[in-house]
Amino acid sequence: MKAFRLLLVLLALLAWAPAHADEFSDAVRALNADNFADKIAAAEALSALGDGRAAVILEALADGRLHAAGDGTIVMEQGGAYRDAITQAAASSADASPITVNNRLRGVLRGAVGRLGLFSPDPELRKRAAESVIASPTPESAAMVRRALETETLPEVKRMLSLALANLDLADADPERRKAAIQALRDSSDPMVRGQLQHMLETESDPEVKAAADKAVGAINSRLVWVSVGANIFQGLSLGSVLLLAAIGLAVTFGVMGVINMAHGEMIMLGAYTAFVVQEVFRATLPPEYVGLYLPVAVPVAFVVTFVIGVGLERTVIRFLYGRPLETMLATWGISLMLQQLVRSIFGASNREVANPAWMTGGIDLIGGFTLTYNRVIIIGFCLAVLLALAALLRWSSFGLHMRAVTQNRPMAAAMGIPTGRIDAATFGLGSGIAGMAGVALSQIGNVSPNLGQGYIVDSFMVVVFGGVGSLWGTLLGALSLGLVNKVLEPYAGAMLGKILVLVVIILFIQKRPRGLFALKGRSVES
Amino acid sequence: MNAPSLSARLLAADDRRLWLGMAGCAIAFLVVVPMLNLAMPPDSALHMPNYMVTLLGKYLCYATLALAMDLVWGYCGVLSLGHGAFFALGGYAMGMFMMRSIGARGVYGNADLPDFMVFLNWKELPWYWMGFDHFWFAALMALAVPGALAFVFGWLAFRSRITGVYLSIITQAMTYALMLAFFRNEMGFGGNNGLTDFKDILGFPLAEPSTKLGLYMLSALVLGLAFLVARFVVTSKLGRIMMAVRDAESRVRFLGYSPTWVKLFGFTLSAMLAGLAGALYVPQVGIINPSEFSPANSIEIAIWVAVGGRGTLVGAVLGAFAVNGAKTWLTGAAPELWLFLLGALFIAVTLGLPKGLLGLWGQIRRKEKAHA
Amino acid sequence: MKFVRALGAGLLAAASLLPFTAANAADDTIKVGVLHSLSGTMAISETTLKDTVLMMVDDINKHGGLLGKKVEAVVVDPASNWPLFAEKARELLEKEKVAAVFGCWTSVSRKSVLPVFEQLNGLLFYPVQYEGEESSRNVFYTGAAPNQQAIPAVDYLMSKDGGEVKRWVLAGTDYVYPRTTNKILEAYLKSKGVKAEDIMINYTPFGHNDWQTIVADIKKFGAAGKKTAVVSTINGDANVPFYKELANQGIKADQIPVVAFSVGEEELAGIDTKNLVGHLAAWNYFQSVKAPENDAFIAQWKTFIKNPKRVTNDPMEATYIGFKMWTQAVQQAGTTNVDAVRQAMYGQKVKNLTGGTAVMNTNHHLSKPVLIGEIQANGQMQTVWKSKDVIKADAWSPYIPESAKLKADWTYPWVCGNCAEPKFKM
């Protein structure tokens, strides 16, 4: 983005043409009109000049970076510095107020910037211009794209431009051109194209063109079915990973230790608030480009914070309740109420803003309008990493060995010299710490509020019980299958009914397998 | 050994204290409170204001609910985290009756459909609303629907030998699913707003203090009756098997009893009691809405019982009064801090008083005796 | 002996309840109740309103109180629990004997306390935009009715400036406010010639946090070649994940704008708005509006709450107007007597924070201006449209056949909140 803007500036300087400076500066000044209709007219006039400098100014306007000073000079903000938009001289921002923009003007501006970019020397810019022409088509675009195509050399850009042209040509007066456009768009999987073709089916008069359009719609449709199946699976996996992330910590405290930990949700919440605090510290101390790094830092910090809180709780409350699982529920419920109110008194009752870092914002447009969003992909990866790390810890570390020993046979473990008390504390801390890390991840897709944990607690218990208490792989499989079932049902049943059906499925499933998907076997199970 | 006959048991010397206590409570709740409410002048320090009567009525319903919970958790060892669902279903049954008795007095003046249905363009009453014009039907449903749900659910669960936390979690799933279902406006139960705007019950206007007092006294009577029924059950032979199931289910099974049916009986009876409590609760608070199904509410019921003293019927009642009284008082007296205090109470009770408040009473009594 | 002891225990139990009852208001104060959830799910929104009332009370006491008496706020926490709302309302009216109550956010909480206020003839000021279809003698509604929010917003989107939207997604949380608003909007859109296939209606549960499918559906729906907009009545908590998903799936405001009726400055403070620039909200108030009253209010709020970063929002303005109107009505009536104050409320005027004057109508709703704003990167709204004059709230929507017949007017000869004809014949 930065490089792009820099290029635009260079471009503007290259195209410096004093001959029509007056015309140009008048057009720029006209942007500061009283109403949006006049502003739109001014923007269109400015872009029609074909002056390369216009692109930078129009883009600044679209981003809300173009200001008007009291004396009518137009000032442009770039990375905190202000310059006169026409002369490029440094200017002060003292009495400047931003020129207001609305969606309609923004659309016009993007189209204009796009068209101006068609003739840019940078291929990347030309590609984006082709995209923006598709997004906001205007009658004059077709001619410009055609002109750009004549001089285009790079095959990739050429392909995009012809697609853009085909999009525009669908509305052409010449039936031959329309037919050619349909041929060119047959292999597209863009629902936008399908929409246009469908629209054509209703309005088209030429039977031959109509038949071609009909065929093309059929082809696109059959491809889109597969896209939607793929999208569905991804969404299911993503939901499953969120469920899994929320449940892994509980799989330790509840699954391994048998503590009905009602405060589990609050550990997730505390993790999310830790992410918030780390973000604020980064914002206060570091330059803006490093703020995005708060997230990798927040993960271990949240682990430590919730680990310590978990150990503290275990030592002061929970250790007195071993062997009385249902009473741990009562006590942890009390803890959960207190933690919620504590956070409410410290941070206030309203939502806190935790921003996605730039590298987690947006997504890749895969095919057919299906976007693979970065934050969800990263969360899927993160959750698998956490699970694998935990499994490795339990399997190969001496702490894991001790932990398994203590949970399987406490007196025997104690007799072997394992400090059971310390192991208990560490195990509960571990479960809490994982919940804290989950909180950091979940802050990237949802609210950060004192009620955050309440939204996940019921689902987490469902996942752990469905998967089989005490089994990590059960938790994994349980979470993913519940996520998938939920998302497969959602398009047919709606979000609400889908969720109800999933709960009914869990209830019925437990009838068949009273100890979940992966039941622990052995004598210690019965109690 | 044969269980002693009913009359013998009712008059047993051990029970005399119980009967006296009940008589004391009956006088307090059925005579003293109404007297303080009606006979005392409003500015007297002894006057019981109307809102206190409603509040007490509400607590009495909660106490009945806690009793139901104790029957199944304290005596059968089944921790149901879905008892709020039975309570709410009973409440909905009564709410539907009161909704139907609004008739044409609703805002849209439609005699055939409740307001929210008129509003959502329903053309006719759905089949499951049929019959709720009659009080006897609604009263029957307030018992039968929770009972039937508990029977089917319990039969499936106990037959598959689902126990412990698994059972708790699937009961939670049940109430959660019901909550989501009742939130759906398409269900025909008023969605999030639930049923409200009731005018009267059996011709008695709900806004009248005398109706409130009547409902309060009815709740007190029902609590007393529920207490006797629960007491009768737990002191019977069946009650002993229940406790045996609670303490060692496998042994009971090896002795030739079927724990499934014992637990099923306890669960169903308890659900019906909960439904009854719900049916009495709704006319007193004037609204029934899906949030009554929320899992947190059901957990809270378990907490009342634990605070009062699990496995003792008096304890359950005591716990419901204590926790709800504390809640009423603290949400007014310390609105910013009450969650800390309530949370601390739960922790303190579990750590310090494993047998609940009643256990504390027992400890004090034992000390007294030791000193005497 | 035992008998006496048991009986005594029972009596003691009854007696222990007595301290609840003895609490008498001192004669030199006027009490107002504050009935907003400070814990539970609604605390997110309602806590701010509690603070607003406290600020107003503080302010009036600094200026000599009301009728020569100090005003005292009685704060209770109904904990987002609807039956508890009714219980607390009863406590405020019967035990605390408050002169008026400021409170409630959700419709269900209002419905829950309504019978209490009507039975005890209390006075409730309800400060939140809601679905209408109600006019109680004991409630003054200072938030927007659908015709003060939804219809102007849709009109704007259909206009040239709004992008001439032809295709509509009505997305909401499944409860009564979205249901009503969408019902009104559907009827309104159809009356404007929008075809049924160009309207997509979608409901989600409370606190819904997985929006992947629905946002993808919106994207698909918007790809049909006609300009599409989303009208969102999604409730509080669910908005953050919804907007995050919108931003990440790349839905830009100039392609598919989203106009929301429940998202204000307070909600935006919890969202990263960089990627939401241009999405819209319709309200009766924006913090960004430049007006002397507004500047003073914002400054007062920031000082009171001791946090320069806190924002103001529409329900706060509604609370402000309600409180002001009540104090004016009390002064006019010379008493806090509910019947006298109610009469004095009609026609009561208070200057809006954004300019113009709000008037209390005889249907217990306000006439207020309507503003439509676009979200800015700093979390504020930039006004892109403002109604020329104040718009009078309809208690009963003319677009719903059953309610079109009804009229709310609490003055002679109507004296009714939901009647098809006047109570008294002229």
A123, A231: one domain: no
pLDDT, one tens digit per residue, over A250-261 is 998 888 888 889
Q: In angstroms, what separates the C-alpha of B102 from chain C's closest C-alpha?
A: 14
* Of A503-517, B91-105, C326-340, the least confident: A503-517
pLDDT at A503: 92
What residues of chain A lie within 8 A of the CB of B163, using their CB? Answer: 514
Adjacent-strand bridge partners of C228: C167
Residue type, C299: A
pLDDT at C28: 83
The helix/strand/coil state of C215 is helix
Given a contact as 3+ CB pairs under 8 Å, which chains touch B?
Answer: A, C
Helix residue ranges, H only, A173-263 = 175-185, 191-203, 207-250
pLDDT at A329: 85
What residues of chain B lie within 8 A of the CB of C79, using their CB? Answer: 331
B22 occurs within a structural domain: no
Helix residue ranges, H only, chain B = 6-11, 16-26, 33-38, 50-70, 83-102, 115-119, 135-159, 164-183, 209-235, 237-247, 249-254, 259-285, 295-308, 313-333, 338-352, 356-371
8 A C-beta contact, residue A501 and residue A493: yes
Q: In angstroms, what separates the C-alpha of A133 from chain C's closest C-alpha?
A: 13
**The pair of three-digit structure tokens given for residue B202, joined into one six-digit string:** 């059996």
Q: DSSP letter string over C231-250?
A: EEE--GGGHHHHHHHHHHTT
A155 occurs within a structural domain: yes
8 A C-beta contact, residue A25 and residue A86: yes
- The C-alpha atoms of residue B227 and residue A385 are separated, in whole angstroms, by 54
Mean pLDDT across chain B, nearest whole number? 89
Contact C248 A361 (CB under 8 A): yes
Residue of C157, C220, C221, C290 to mutate for A, most A C-beta atoms under 10 A: C220
What residues of chain B lie within 8 A of the CB of C14, using their CB? Answer: 28-29, 32-33, 36
Q: How many CA atoms within 13 Å lie on the side-chain side of A403?
A: 26
A174, A240: one domain: no
pLDDT at A79: 72
A170 pLDDT higher than 70:
yes
* Most confident listed range (A79-93, B7-21, B167-181): B167-181
Residue type, A463: V
Give me the mean pLDDT over the B227-233 stretch.
92
pLDDT at C10: 46
Would you place residue A526 in the very low, low, confident or very high pLDDT band (cuts 50, 70, 90)?
Answer: very low
Give me the mean pLDDT over the B247-255 stretch.
90
8 A C-beta contact, residue A461 and residue A450: no
A119, A239: one domain: no
Contact B331 C203 (CB under 8 A): no
What residues of chain A lie within 8 A of the CB of B176, using their CB? Answer: 458, 503
Contact B183 C91 (CB under 8 A): no
Q: In angstroms, what separates the C-alpha of C304 from chain A's closest C-alpha?
A: 15
A276, A148: one domain: no
What residues of chain C lie within 8 A of the CB of A354, using their CB? Answer: 272
What residues of chain A lie within 8 A of the CB of C165, using their CB? Answer: none
Task: Check if B184 contacts A (Cβ < 8 Å).
Answer: yes
Would you place residue C199 in the very low, low, confident or very high pLDDT band (cuts 50, 70, 90)?
Answer: very high
Give me the mean pLDDT over the A149-167 stretch.
80
Task: Check if C254 contacts B (Cβ < 8 Å).
Answer: no
CA torsion, ordered B32, B34, B40, B46, to nearest 10 deg: 50
Question: In this complex, which of A333, A458, A499 lies closest to B346 when CB atoms are compared?
Answer: A333
**Neighbour order of strands in the sheet with C70-76:** C70-76, C29-35, C100-103, C124-126, C139-141
A267 occurs within a structural domain: yes
Question: In this complex, which of B153, B184, B340 lies closest to A341 when CB atoms are compared?
Answer: B340
Question: In this complex, which of C203, C219, C254 lies closest to A110 when CB atoms are compared?
Answer: C254
pLDDT, one tens digit per residue, over A23-78 is 788 888 888 888 888 888 888 888 877 776 787 888 888 888 888 887 778 888 87
Better-predicted residue by pLDDT, B39 or C397: C397
pLDDT, one tens digit per residue, over A343-371 is 999 998 888 889 888 888 888 877 777 88
Give me the mean pLDDT over the C90-112 stretch.
93
Q: Residue B177: closest CA among chain C residues belongs to which residue? A: C205
What residues of chain B lie within 8 A of the CB of A342, using their CB? Answer: 340
A438 pLDDT higher than 90:
yes
C19 pLDDT higher than 70:
no
Residue type, C259: V
Q: In angstroms, what separates the C-alpha of B158 from chain A's closest C-alpha?
A: 9
A19 pLDDT higher than 80:
no
Any residues with CB less than 8 A from the CB of C17 and at least 6 apart, and which? B48, B52, B56
Residue type, C59: D
Any residues with CB less than 8 A from the CB of C417 and at least 6 apart, and which? C134, C135, C136, C137, C363, C364, C395, C408, C410
- Distance spanning both ends of chain A, measured CA to CA: 61
Contact A353 C245 (CB under 8 A): no
Go through B93-126 and write b for each residue having 16 or more CB atoms within 10 A of its CB, e for each that does not: bbbbbbbbbbeeebbbbbeebbbbbbbbebeebe
Cβ within 8 Å of B, C 288-327: none
8 A C-beta contact, residue C326 and residue C109: no
Contact C204 A445 (CB under 8 A): no
Number of structural domains found in chain B: 1
Cβ within 8 Å of C, A 287-346: 340-341, 344
8 A C-beta contact, residue B292 and residue B84: yes
Task: Check if A58 contacts C (Cβ < 8 Å).
Answer: no
**The pair of three-digit structure tokens given for residue B76, joined into one six-digit string:** 């059968």
Q: Considering A187, A215, A248, which residue would you say is the last residue of a domain?
A: A187
Q: Among A190, A191, A198, A144, which residue's Cα sits nearest to residue A170?
A: A198
Better-predicted residue by pLDDT, C50 or B104: C50
What residues of chain A lie within 8 A of the CB of B347, using their CB? Answer: 317, 331, 334-335
Contact A496 C249 (CB under 8 A): no
Residue type, C292: P
pLDDT at A137: 67
B16 occurs within a structural domain: no
Query: What would you measure as the largest C-alpha separation in chain C, in angstroms?
Result: 89
**The pair of three-digit structure tokens given for residue B200, joined into one six-digit string:** 């009267």
pLDDT at C1: 43
- The C-alpha atoms of residue C145 and residue C408 are separated, in whole angstroms, by 13
Give me the mean pLDDT over the C275-284 stretch.
92
- The C-alpha atoms of residue C121 and residue C119 are separated, in whole angstroms, by 6
Mean pLDDT across chain A, nearest whole number? 84
Give me the mean pLDDT over the C398-418 stretch.
89
Q: Where in chain C is the domain with CATH 3.40.50.2300?
A: 20-144+290-367, 150-260
A198 occurs within a structural domain: no
Would you place residue A523 in the very low, low, confident or very high pLDDT band (cuts 50, 70, 90)?
Answer: very low
Angle at which helices A420-442 and A398-408 cross, to 10°: 110
Q: Residue C41: closest CA among chain A residues belongs to which residue? A: A451
Contact C208 A495 (CB under 8 A): yes
Parent domain of A286: 227-521
Give me the mean pLDDT over the C277-293 stretch.
93
pLDDT at A527: 44
B276 occurs within a structural domain: yes
Contact C248 A487 (CB under 8 A): no
Give me the mean pLDDT over the A171-191 stretch.
79
Give me the mean pLDDT over the A151-177 stretch.
79
What residues of chain A lie within 8 A of the CB of B305, using their CB? Answer: none
8 A C-beta contact, residue B87 and residue B289: no
- Number of CB pairs < 8 Å for A and C? 179
CA torsion, ordered A290, A291, A293, A294, to nearest 10 deg: 150
- The C-alpha atoms of residue A461 and residue B110 are separated, in whole angstroms, by 45
A109 occurs within a structural domain: yes
**The pair of three-digit structure tokens given for residue C99, joined into one six-digit string:** 């002169």
A129 occurs within a structural domain: yes
Parent domain of B59: 49-371
Q: Considering A155, A187, A219, which residue would you say is the last residue of a domain?
A: A187
Would you place residue A470 in the very low, low, confident or very high pLDDT band (cuts 50, 70, 90)?
Answer: confident
- The C-alpha atoms of residue B44 and residue B42 are separated, in whole angstroms, by 6
pLDDT at A30: 85
Q: Residue A260: closest CA among chain B residues belongs to which residue? A: B165
Would you place residue A18 in the very low, low, confident or very high pLDDT band (cuts 50, 70, 90)?
Answer: very low
A252, A349: one domain: yes
Would you place residue B6 in the very low, low, confident or very high pLDDT band (cuts 50, 70, 90)?
Answer: low
A120, A40: one domain: yes
Q: Among C14, C20, C33, C142, which residue's Cα sits nearest to residue C85?
A: C33
- What is residue C365's DSSP assignment? B
Phi, psi dihedrals of residue A17, rounded to the nearest 5°: -135, 100
Would you place residue C8 in the very low, low, confident or very high pLDDT band (cuts 50, 70, 90)?
Answer: very low
- The C-alpha atoms of residue C225 and residue C241 are separated, in whole angstroms, by 27
Number of structural domains found in chain A: 2
- The C-alpha atoms of residue A105 and residue A43 are separated, in whole angstroms, by 8
Residue of A100, A170, A350, A487 to mutate for C, most C C-beta atoms under 10 A: A350
Contact C272 A373 (CB under 8 A): no
Q: In angstroms, what separates the C-alpha of A461 from chain B's closest C-alpha?
A: 7
Better-predicted residue by pLDDT, B284 or A149: B284
pLDDT at C425: 83
Phi, psi dihedrals of residue B290, rounded to the nearest 5°: -60, -20
B39 occurs within a structural domain: no
- The C-alpha atoms of residue A15 and residue A51 are separated, in whole angstroms, by 7
Go through A439-467 and write b for each residue having 16 or more CB atoms within 10 A of its CB, e for each that does not: bbbbbbbbbbbbbbbbbbbbbbbbbbbbb
8 A C-beta contact, residue B172 and residue A460: no
Q: Residue C279: closest CA among chain A residues belongs to which residue? A: A103
Please state, for a pLDDT cut of 90, what percent of chain B lies above it.
55
Question: In this complex, which of A337, A514, A527 lies closest to B162 when CB atoms are compared?
Answer: A514
Would you place residue C328 in the very low, low, confident or very high pLDDT band (cuts 50, 70, 90)?
Answer: very high
pLDDT at C25: 46
Give me the mean pLDDT over the C141-170 stretch.
93
Q: Among B42, B322, B338, which residue's Cα sits nearest to residue C95?
A: B42
The CATH number of domain C20-144+290-367 is 3.90.1150.10: no
pLDDT, one tens digit per residue, over C329-388 is 999 999 999 999 999 999 999 999 998 899 999 999 999 999 999 998 889 998 999 999
B286 pLDDT higher than 50:
yes
What is the fold of C150-260? Rossmann fold (3.40.50)
Q: Among A106, A80, A88, which residue's Cα sits nearest to residue A28?
A: A88
Task: Check if B187 contacts A (Cβ < 8 Å).
Answer: no
- The C-alpha atoms of residue A450 and residue A434 are separated, in whole angstroms, by 19
A236, A177: one domain: no
Q: In angstroms, what separates the C-alpha of A162 from chain C's closest C-alpha?
A: 19
Give me the mean pLDDT over the A228-236 stretch.
90
Give me the mean pLDDT over the C84-107 stretch.
94
pLDDT, one tens digit per residue, over A444-459 is 988 899 989 988 998 9
Better-predicted residue by pLDDT, A433 or C40: A433
Query: What would you measure as the largest C-alpha separation in chain B, in angstroms?
Result: 74
ipTM, two decimals, is 0.89
A451 occurs within a structural domain: yes
Angle at which helices B135-159 and B164-183 cross, to 10°: 140
Give me the mean pLDDT over the C11-38 stretch.
65
